[in-house]
Amino acid sequence: MRQVREVLRLKESCGQSQRDISASTGISKGSVSEYLARASVAGLTWAMAESMSDSEVEGRLFTNVGRNEPSTRVAIDFEWVAREMRRAGVTLQLLWVEYRDGVRAQVGAEGRPYQYSQFCDLYRAWRKKLPLVMRQEHRAGEKLFVDYSGKRPSIVDPSTGVVTAVELFVAVLGASNYTYAEATRSQKLPDWLGSHVRAFEYFGGVPEIVVPDQLKSGVTVPDLHDPDINAGYAALAAHYGVAVIPARPARPRDKAKVEVGVQIAQRWILARLRNRTFFSLDELNAAIAELLAEMNARPFAKLEGCRRTAFEDIDRPALKSLPATRFVPATWAHATVNIDYHVEFEHRLYSVPHALVRREVELRATATTVEILHDGRRVALHRRSYERRGLPVTDPAHRPKSHQDYGDWPPSRMIDWARTIGPNAQRVFAHILESRPHPEQGYRSCLALLRTAKKYGHERTESACTRALEIGSPSRKSVEMVLQRGLDRVARDESASPAPIGPHENIRGGDYYDTTRSKKRTREPVH
């Protein structure tokens, strides 16, 4: 409250000087002089003011009643201050200097600039009147907040009419609130990584930090202080040169930007699509892209401009450039090389150099390739197989130097193991090895039958092999099916003997492997 009445009393009743009045009231000498000048112009004396209230006196002298500052101060453009504060390195002191210099440079302008402390106080008071999401301050190009919407859109299979719920991915830049959204089939790692790639390309640049929730696709082991980032997600971060800092569990304020962004996307995108039917993901995303452009162009409620103009002015200049090559989303897995020098990924087999048998390797699978790494170096690269399960993908260069050079795992070793079960088991093992393009490709089936023999016993396994030979299907699946259904215990014609397997140029018999290895041992060295 202005102390006009006290100034008039001390001047007219006590006869004090302006300097003494300033010392007595704590008001600057300039303000004392201005109060007395205003009272003189308005014809207000202490005798008149003595019977009036403070507000009445103030109303006679000032237009802005209840304000301590003189009415001749130049107004501050608080929206300009808020917008500039999002830029890297900008401070309130710098903006005050620019504001002050701008006021002084205005020729013929009325009023004076606010001092620095008043400038800061008034700006902070203005910020408190804004919604919480507007009051958060983020540096330009610093953070991108990402999350999935709890409410999901859906697509309809045109042939069956089955309705499938899909996911809505949302990404929001911290400084400008510029938003990206798209529908994906799932929250699995390939979709999660692909959404990031498309978001970066939509923005035309890369932020410094990505802030996700601690969902499984992004964080392998959630933790309050030290979450373990998924290997595929870490590879994406390395490719684009960003840091991934997950929000803390149960701390929604860590990602308030995207929480609000998801809510806005639900209202201005999903709600507007609620009465439309989509028959493909591409059709749905085309509709989302159209509404997304409208949403980013909607004017702010409290500030000038919209998300797009704020992005162009604030975030875009601060974003880092996209790398020269696009990141290809991949799934990572660990495996141990089997004795058949193959590893399994999604029920399909891929070969590696035979020298890595029993070694630990890493698999990096994209939509088109499967890359196998050992000690951080690539040892094999295959085109990804989508054929029937179990069909091996083999590079001939990964096989031993000669068909008989199997080291510690020759086919004869499998035949010898089968001989301990029984003669018909030996015949089944021989057929499994001989029916493959390369005997090593039958090792897994043979080892599986050995485990089956431990489970059911040699006697039952031999009986099941006999039954499999009788029906002309000497395979692992047939033997296991006979055992599972107990057909090996069903009485059958004792005079029946196993049906012989017809002659074929590729069928050599169990003794072949012993013979060839004998020949190999007696073979003269090649010079």
What CATH number is given to the structural domain containing 207? 3.30.420.10
Residues 295 and 427 in one domain: no
Residue 518: predicted pLDDT: 43
Average pLDDT value for residue range 38-55: 81
The token duo for 284 is 């749905």
Residues 300 and 336 in one domain: no
- pLDDT band at 65, cuts 50/70/90? very low
Q: How many CB atoms lie within 10 A of CB 185?
A: 13
Distance separating alpha carbons of residues 379 and 377, to the nearest angstrom: 6
Residue 69: predicted pLDDT: 46
**Contact (Cβ atoms closer than 8 angstroms) between residue 290 and residue 182:** no
Residues 95 and 227 in one domain: no
**Does the pLDDT of residue 327 top 70, yes or no?**
yes
What does pLDDT average to over the chain? Answer: 78
Q: Is residue 134 part of a domain?
A: no
Average pLDDT value for residue range 21-46: 82
* Tens digit of each residue's pLDDT (9 = 90 or more) over 157-208: 888 888 999 999 999 988 888 999 999 988 888 888 889 999 999 999 999 9
Q: Is residue 225 part of a domain?
A: yes
Residue 128: predicted pLDDT: 78
Burial category of 96 from C-beta neighbours within 10 Å (exposed 0-12, middle 13-18, buried 19 and up): buried
- pLDDT band at 240, cuts 50/70/90? very high
- pLDDT band at 502, cuts 50/70/90? low
Higher confidence at residue 44 or residue 88? 44
- pLDDT band at 439, cuts 50/70/90? low
Average pLDDT value for residue range 346-375: 87
- From 347, 376, 398, the end of a domain falls on 398
Higher confidence at residue 8 or residue 506? 8
Residue 441: predicted pLDDT: 66
Residues 47 and 87 in one domain: no
What contacts 423, CB < 8 A, 6 or more positions away?
462
The mean-pLDDT minimum among 47-51, 129-133, 350-354, 375-379 falls in 129-133
**Contact (Cβ atoms closer than 8 angstroms) between residue 429 and residue 423:** no
The mean-pLDDT minimum among 22-36, 158-172, 196-210, 252-266 falls in 252-266
Nearest-5° angle of CA 172, CA 78, CA 58? 150
Percent of the chain at pLDDT exceeding 70:
78
**Does the pLDDT of residue 489 top 70, yes or no?**
yes
**Contact (Cβ atoms closer than 8 angstroms) between residue 168 and residue 274:** no
3-state secondary structure 251-303: CHHHHHHHHHHHHHHHHHHHHHHCCCCCCCHHHHHHHHHHHHHHHHCCECCCC
The token duo for 301 is 């409620």
* Tens digit of each residue's pLDDT (9 = 90 or more) over 371-410: 999 888 899 999 888 776 666 788 878 876 644 444 455 6
Residue 484: predicted pLDDT: 86
**Does the pLDDT of residue 364 top 90, yes or no?**
no
**Does the pLDDT of residue 315 top 70, yes or no?**
yes
Tally of structural domains, the chain: 5
**Does the pLDDT of residue 156 top 50, yes or no?**
yes
Percent of the chain at pLDDT exceeding 90:
12
Residue 409: predicted pLDDT: 58
Residues 279 and 182 in one domain: yes
**Does the pLDDT of residue 20 top 70, yes or no?**
yes
| Closest by Cα among 272, 277, 314 to 293 | 272
Residues 201 and 238 in one domain: yes
Q: Is residue 70 part of a domain?
A: no
Burial category of 230 from C-beta neighbours within 10 Å (exposed 0-12, middle 13-18, buried 19 and up): buried
Residue 389: predicted pLDDT: 65
Residue 362's DSSP bridge partners are: 334, 373
Residue 287: predicted pLDDT: 93
Q: Is residue 405 part of a domain?
A: no
Q: Is residue 135 part of a domain?
A: no
Residue 495: predicted pLDDT: 43
Residue 438: predicted pLDDT: 61
Residues 255 and 301 in one domain: yes
Distance separating alpha carbons of residues 99 and 84, to the nearest angstrom: 12
Residues 37 and 119 in one domain: no
**Contact (Cβ atoms closer than 8 angstroms) between residue 483 and residue 464:** yes
Residues 121 and 148 in one domain: no
**Does the pLDDT of residue 97 top 80, yes or no?**
yes
Residue 407: predicted pLDDT: 46
- pLDDT band at 412, cuts 50/70/90? low
Distance separating alpha carbons of residues 429 and 524, to the nearest angstrom: 31
**Does the pLDDT of residue 72 top 80, yes or no?**
no
Q: Is residue 324 part of a domain?
A: no
Residues 260 and 386 in one domain: no
Average pLDDT value for residue range 506-513: 57
The mean-pLDDT minimum among 228-242, 366-380, 406-420, 505-519 falls in 505-519
H-run or E-run covering 97? helix 92-105
The boundaries of the domain holding residue 419 are 411-522
* Tens digit of each residue's pLDDT (9 = 90 or more) over 279-314: 999 999 999 999 999 989 988 876 778 889 989 988
Average pLDDT value for residue range 122-149: 75
Q: Is residue 73 part of a domain?
A: no
What contacts 403, CB < 8 A, 6 or more positions away?
438, 439
Distance separating alpha carbons of residues 60 and 285, to the nearest angstrom: 64
**Does the pLDDT of residue 251 top 60, yes or no?**
no
Residue 202: predicted pLDDT: 94
Q: Is residue 136 part of a domain?
A: no
Residue 66: predicted pLDDT: 47
Residues 252 and 186 in one domain: yes
Q: Please state the pTM of the whole predicted model.
A: 0.48
Residue 320: predicted pLDDT: 92
Residues 339 and 258 in one domain: no
**Does the pLDDT of residue 227 top 70, yes or no?**
no
Average pLDDT value for residue range 218-239: 69
Residue 499: predicted pLDDT: 54
Using CA atoms, how far residue 178 sits from 87, 141, 316, in Å, is 15, 11, 10
What contacts 243, CB < 8 A, 6 or more positions away?
208, 209, 210, 237
